[in-house]
Amino acid sequence: MSPKAAKFALPVLLVAPLYSWGFSYEAPAISPESESGYEEKPGWEAETFAVAAANPLATDAGYQVLKAGGNAIDAAIAVQMVLNLVEPQSSGIGGGAFLMHYDGSEVRAYDGRETAPQGVSGELFLEDGEPLEFNEAVASGLSVGVPGTLRMLGKAHAEHGELAWKELFTPAITLAEEGFAVSNRLHTSLESDEYLRRDPLASQFYYNDEGEPIAVGETLKNPALAEVFRRVAAQGSAAFYEGSVAEDIVERVQNHPERPGSLALEDINGYEALDREPLCTPWQQWEVCGFPPPSSGHLTVMQILGMLDQQSLLEAPLDNGAPSSTWLHQFLEAARLAFADRGRYIADPDFVEAPGGDWSLMLAPEYLEKRSELIGEMSMGDSAEPGNPGELAVSWASQPNQPEYGTSHISIVDEDGNAVSMTTTIEQAFGSRILSDGGTGLAGGFLLNNELTDFSFVPEVDGDPVANRVEPGKRPRSSMSPTLVFDQESGELVASLGSPGGAAIIHYTARTLVAMRDWGLNAQEALNLPHAITLGGEVYVEEDRFPEATLEALRERGHTVSERELTSGLQAIMRLDDGTLFGGADPRREGVVMGD
Ligand code: GLU
C-alpha cells in the first residue's frame, strides 16, 4: 500500500454533525483487527487537524471532538476516557500522565504523575532487608501511587478547554453503557496475564468461571466506569478525588490480601497536578520540547541525539531499510552513556537537585561533546560510567536497572494549530491488578496503577542514597517522552510524537526523531523501522527485523545481542512543508490516525 493512501482509518461512515452549541457523539461500528503483532499501516494525511491514539475507538472519539470544534485539549480528554475503557491495561483515571501542550505561542508541560503516599519510606519494597520479587511488588497494594491523570486533565481543561468538560465524557460513557467490541490486544493481554485473575472484581468482570478471558469481538459494557465518568463529567475531578470513589480506592489498597499499601484518603484528597517548565533543546534546524524531571525522557533522548550529532558516519545510516550496524553501534554506545547519567542523577526535582542546579547542564553541547569522545570502534559493554555535568549537593549512587512496561501515547494537532503530546500510563499492563468499581457496587471499574515500582527498590547502594528512592509525596522517575518539535527558524510546529515501552520509550523516540529529521522518512515510515535498545548491558534487537549480517557486525564490535519483541506504541503527527499533516501509528499495536 502506498503511504498517504488512506485518508480515514475506519471502514465506517462517520456522522458527526457540527452543532455550534456543542458536540453530539455517534458511536462508530468498528470491528477489532483480527491479529495483533506487526500490521502494516498506510500513514494518514489530513488537511488541518489530526489525532493519533492506540485504539480506533479512542482515535475516533478525539476525531469527533475536533470535528465539532473542540480543541486539542478537549480531544485529549475524550481520547483518554475511551482508552481507559477499551485499552484498560495501559492507562486511565487510576494512573498518571504527562501532557505537553502548545497553544500557538507557548509550550507547557502538565505533570499528572502519581505521588507516593505519606505513609511510605525508602524501604517500601524491601522485605527482611531484601528487594521484593518485582512482579510480587507490582501486583500488590504497595505499588499504588495517588492517581494524577484526571486532576491533570481538569487543570489543562480549565486553562485551555473549548468545549464543556461534561461533553468530553460522552463518547466513553456511551461506549461503556452500550458496550464495545473487545480488541485482540485486550483479549491477548488478559489471556497472558498471570495476576489479574487474583483480583475478585477483575476476575468476575474480564474472565469466565474457567478463567478464560472475554473473547475478541465480544461486547463488553462497563457500568461501574460509566457511573464514575458520569459523576466526574457532572462534578469535575473532585468527584474522583473526594468522596466514595476515593474511599473505594483506599479500601482496596489498604485491604489487599497479600501486601496492603498505606495509601490514605488524605493522599488522594490532596493530589495536585503541576504545571512545569518544559525543556526545549535546539537540535540542528529543530527545537525539541519534552518533559523535564520527574521524567528522564527528554534529558536521555536529547543526550543520545546530542552525542550522535558529534559522530561522523562514513556510510549510509540505512542498510536495506533498517538502521546500519555502524549507526546502531553509535546509537547504542550513546545510549549506554546517557543511561549511566540517567541512573545516577534523574529523579523528582522537588526532592533532588539537578547537577549544577540546572537540568539543562546535562544537555550542554560541551558536555555532550566530551561524553561522545568516549564512543570508540568497540563497544564499552556494561562499563559506561556517569559523567559530571555539574556540581552535586549529594553524592548519589546509581540506581540498578529495573523492568518497566505498559502505557499509551496520544498525539493531536487541532485546526488552530494547538498541539498535544500526551503519554499516559498505569505502568505495567493492568497496573497493580487492583480493579476499583469506584464504590458503585456495579460491574467493572478502572484499574489502579503500580507506578511506585518506577522508584528504586533499594534506597541506597554502598551507603550512598539513590536519587530515585521512595519518599513520601515524591513522584517516581519516568521514561515517558511526550515530545513536540518546532522549526527553529520559523517557530512553527513540526511534529508531535511519543510512545509507551518503559525505559525503551527513550530509544524509540530518539530513533524516530533521527529518521524524521535526517533520513527523510515520513511519520509512518519513521516509526516502522526496526528497534534496537540497551540500558547499558545487553543489546536487544527487534525479532526478525534485522539482516543477520547487521547483528553479526554488532557482535564483532563487542555487543552482546539478542532478539526479542520490542512492542513500541509510537504515535506521530508531522506537519509537511505544504502545511498539511501526516500521521503515523505503530504497526506493532492497534493505533490509528484520523483527521480532516
Ligand atoms: N511507567 C513507565 C514510565 O513512566 C512507563 C511504562 C511503559 O511505558 O511501559 O516511564
The yes-or-no answer on residue 115 being catalytic is no
Q: What pLDDT is attached to residue 430?
A: 97
To test ligand 1's pocket by mutation, which of 113, 427, 568 has the most ligand atoms within 8 angstroms of CB? 427
Distance (Å) of CA 294 to CA 139, 348, 366, 454, 483? 23, 4, 24, 11, 15
Atom of ligand 1 nearest to the CA of 113: 4
CA 296, CA 559: separation in Å to the nearest integer?
Answer: 24
Fold of domain 276-381+503-570: Serum Albumin; Chain A, Domain 1 (1.10.246)
Q: What pLDDT is attached to residue 17?
A: 38
Distance 478 CA to ligand 1 centre (A): 6
Q: Is the pLDDT of residue 16 over 60?
A: no
Distance 189 CA to ligand 1 centre (A): 17
Question: Measured from the CB, is residue 404 less than 6 Å from ligand 1?
Answer: yes
Atom of ligand 1 nearest to the CA of 96: 4
Atom of ligand 1 nearest to the CA of 479: 10
Q: What pLDDT is attached to residue 32?
A: 57
Distance 57 CA to ligand 1 centre (A): 23
Distance 505 CA to ligand 1 centre (A): 8
Consult the annotation and say whether 36 binds a ligand: no
Kindly indicate the confidence band of residue 18, based on its pLDDT and cuts at 50, 70 and 90.
Answer: very low
Question: Measured from the CB, is residue 406 less than 6 Å from ligand 1?
Answer: yes
Q: Is the pLDDT of residue 371 over 50?
A: yes
pLDDT in tens, 173-223: 999 999 999 999 999 999 999 999 999 999 999 999 999 999 999 999 999
295, 97 contact by CB (below 8 A): no
Each domain of the chain, given as residue ranges in start order, spans: 82-274+425-464, 276-381+503-570
Instruction: Dump strand ranges (E) for 260-378.
Output: 274-276, 279-283, 286-290, 318-319, 322-323
Its pTM stands at 0.95
Q: What pLDDT is attached to residue 31?
A: 62
81, 171 contact by CB (below 8 A): yes
Output the nine-digit C-alpha cell for 231.
459523576
Distance 451 CA to ligand 1 centre (A): 8
Higher-confidence position of 133 and 401? 133
C-alpha R_g of the chain:
22
Question: Measured from the CB, is residue 423 less than 6 Å from ligand 1?
Answer: no
Q: Is 508 left (phi over 0), alpha (psi -120 to 50) or beta?
A: alpha
Q: Write down the catalytic residue from 115, 149, 281, 407.
A: 407
Kindly indicate the confidence band of residue 455, based on its pLDDT and cuts at 50, 70 and 90.
Answer: very high
| pLDDT, average across residues 10-28 | 57
CA 446, CA 426: separation in Å to the nearest integer?
Answer: 10
To test ligand 1's pocket by mutation, which of 348, 479, 506, 535 has the most ligand atoms within 8 angstroms of CB? 479
CA 291, CA 478: separation in Å to the nearest integer?
Answer: 10
| pLDDT, average across residues 524-542 | 97
Q: Is the pLDDT of residue 487 over 50?
A: yes
Question: Measured from the CB, is residue 454 less than 6 Å from ligand 1?
Answer: yes
Sign of CA dihedral 24, 29, 35, 41: negative
| pLDDT, average across residues 418-435 | 97
CA 216, CA 86: separation in Å to the nearest integer?
Answer: 12
| pLDDT, average across residues 430-450 | 98
Atom of ligand 1 nearest to the CA of 499: 8
pLDDT mean across residues, the chain: 94
| pLDDT, average across residues 342-349 | 98
Output the nine-digit C-alpha cell for 362.
546535562
The torsion angle over the Cα atoms of residues 15, 576, 106 and 65, rounded to 10 degrees, is: 10
